[in-house]
Amino acid sequence: MVKPTVHDIAKEAGVSLATVDRVLNARPGVREKTIAKVQAAVEKIGYVRDTNAANLARQKLYRFAFVLPEGPSQFTDTVKAGLGEVVSSQLVDRVAIKVLTVPSYDPHAVVRSLQTINAARYDGVALMVPETPQIRDAISHLKEEGLAVVTMVSDLPHSTRDYFVGVNSIAAGRTAGLLMGRFLPGGGEVLVVTNSLRSRDSLERRLGFDAVVAEGFPKLSVLPTVESFDDPARLPDVIKDVVKTRPNLVGVYSMGFGNTAVLSALRETGRLSDLTVIMHELTPAVRQALVDNEVAAVITQNVGHLVRSAIRVLRGLCDQQPIYDAQERIRIEIVLRENLPY
């Protein structure tokens, strides 16, 4: 009762090894009838391809480019770290990964960077970029070149990308809204801070947040979004102003960019300890704030999963294999002070 091999299939189906190989690897030159015969044999003896041997034999190298926003973002750093770990730890093998950083606030620069990517040097691309028409065009171009394209974290649904890897931002916003409402049954005003609502995920988070609060927590009123527009220096004054002029402010929802700046601004107002703060993305600064009881909860996604999923999907696309959506779904994680991962 050992594990059956291709030889066993050949014997069972009464064909040669070469034919079995052709069927298994979907190569041409086999009659329909013979294909069926081989597949029946596979079913019957329960053959499963030995991926170790297969990977060893097919000395293929997948060359993927990861396009990430540049600049001092702790979240992006985490993603880069995750990528580095994945590559070094051999958890995913036969992949060569090149990280390209682009100034995400400058769509033209992003496009220029995407234009340097071509089929001669890469088999696939993972993108963490904003949503603009130019970038959508650049993605179309990449697809025409024959590259596999996935978007990460923030999607570009109306582009020709093959797949999106990341959490449902609306659900993430809804989760934040639910937590905020549950934490503040007495009601009051909630401030929402983000980098820019031009970024799709921010917008969707806000939508989800508002929807849940409106449905379930009428005592809570959500103030208009404060945007930093990629300039963290802009935030402190606005935040301080809101905190000062709004005595009923009870909560702050920071949607994930410039969390460090948001935190220090809040600290300066001296009212941080009275506020229920919920943030996105578990970066080092946010983690510390959680430990210090400054932040009530963090909504995050596991970057390790994110990165591995992107790689799996890219590989699947290159091999024209089906993608199991269920396996690629990234969880919306809730982190409190007491369940901080080590």
Partner DNA sequence: TCATAAATGAGGTACGTACCTCTTGTCAAG
Partner DNA sequence: CTTGACAAGAGGTACGTACCTCATTTATGA
Q: Which of residues 13-72 bind DNA (CB under 7 A)?
A: 14-19, 21-22, 24-25, 28-31, 33-35, 47, 49-50, 53-54, 56-60
Q: Name the minimum Å distance from CB 92 to DNA.
A: 16
Q: Which of residues 82-121 bind a second copy (CB under 8 A)?
A: 90, 93
Q: Which does 183 bind (CB under 5 to 8 A by kind): DNA, a second copy, none?
A: a second copy
Judged by CB under 7 A, the residue of 1, 2, 61, 326 near DNA is 2
Contacts of 264 (CB under 8 A, 6+ apart): 236
Does 262 help bind a second copy (rule: CB under 8 A)? Answer: no
45 three-state secondary structure? helix
Q: How far apart are CA 306 and CA 92, in angstroms?
A: 13
Report yes or no: 259 and 300 within 8 Å, Cβ to Cβ: no
Judged by CB under 8 A, the residue of 65, 179, 252, 263 near a second copy is 179
Name the helix (H) or strand (E) containing 225. Answer: none
Q: Which does 90 bind (CB under 5 to 8 A by kind): DNA, a second copy, none?
A: a second copy
Q: How many CB atoms lie within 10 A of CB 85?
A: 14
Q: How far apart are CA 131 and CA 307, in angstroms?
A: 20
Q: Count, in order, helices (H) and strands (E) of the chain.
A: 14, 12
Does 96 help bind DNA (rule: CB under 7 A)? Answer: no
Nearest to 255 by CA among 290, 227, 230, 236: 227
Task: Please give the radius of gyration of the chain, using alpha carbons only, rounded to the nearest integer.
Answer: 25
Q: Which does 336 bind (CB under 5 to 8 A by kind): DNA, a second copy, none?
A: a second copy
Q: How far apart are CA 145 and CA 139, in angstroms?
A: 10
Nearest to 65 by CA among 129, 138, 7, 122: 122
Does 326 help bind a second copy (rule: CB under 8 A)? Answer: yes
Q: Which of residues 44-83 bind a second copy (CB under 8 A)?
A: 48, 50-53, 55-56
Which residues of the chain form contacts with a second copy (CB under 8 A)? 48, 50-53, 55-56, 90, 93, 171-172, 174-175, 177-179, 182-183, 185-186, 208, 212, 296, 299, 326, 329, 331-339, 341-342
Binding site for DNA (CB under 7 A): 2-3, 5-7, 14-19, 21-22, 24-25, 28-31, 33-35, 47, 49-50, 53-54, 56-60
